[in-house]
Structure 1
């Protein structure tokens, strides 16, 4: 059973992932340095190539997450992120599900593998605009969530913000 006492986590992603250069990455990230001076945990998820740059721009208490990782250890998987160990990972992005045909089961496998390697994970769950407009949101979200085991879901829900 998933515990209900936890602080909230604010997630900030950069949806213009491929369209940015190093020169353009600083402006959207810079304002996050002063964002929220109180207790919420903040996780920023820039494009993989900008992880070190954005990490240097953020306050030290902010977390950073890569936007993907691969599902297996080792091997030649061109373009895939294997393990950016100093960062968390956000997995199951809607565009990867839609454009790269990442199934709910595949995303569930990636989440389980990343956690088994000691990585922190944000599992992206959600419907497309078309699914929302057709009234199938709950079916979509339920199917995506069921592909991730209950034990795994409990690990994901707490990025490190469990009340002690």
Structure 2
């Protein structure tokens, strides 16, 4: 299926690195709302438009999208818009992650390598889970949450549905 990645930044590149090996998808381009990104190449793939081009791209036969904006609330909003237009929302889940079969994983998530999601964990929609995160029984993740581990000198903080954890959190 022809697929877009919405967001050509670091998270978009992460999603591309996960999705490029899937036989059922053909990544045909990135979308990015930054005007300077238009017509550039990211990971050798063209940036073929902005959010305003979604309906046109759907009419041109692109059927799936992975949204990779870092702001979790924006990622949810864009994913819902894309779904209303008719796109299938694609998750980018690394084959190098360890997800228990009894975990419940929502749609449109980006789950990195070296992530462990245990039995009974519920991960909402449109979440980003960075390398090294371990989620066990009873640790549920709300829609649009970003989880990442910063180096040990960082201070844990939470803002605008973005959770950043220091290494001593483990």
Which bracket does the TM-score occupy, shorter chain normalised? 0.3 to 0.5
Would you tell me which structure has more strand in proportion to its own residues? 2
Give the TM-score normalised by structure 2: 0.33
Give the TM-score normalised by structure 1: 0.34
Would you tell me which structure has more helix in proportion to its own residues? 1
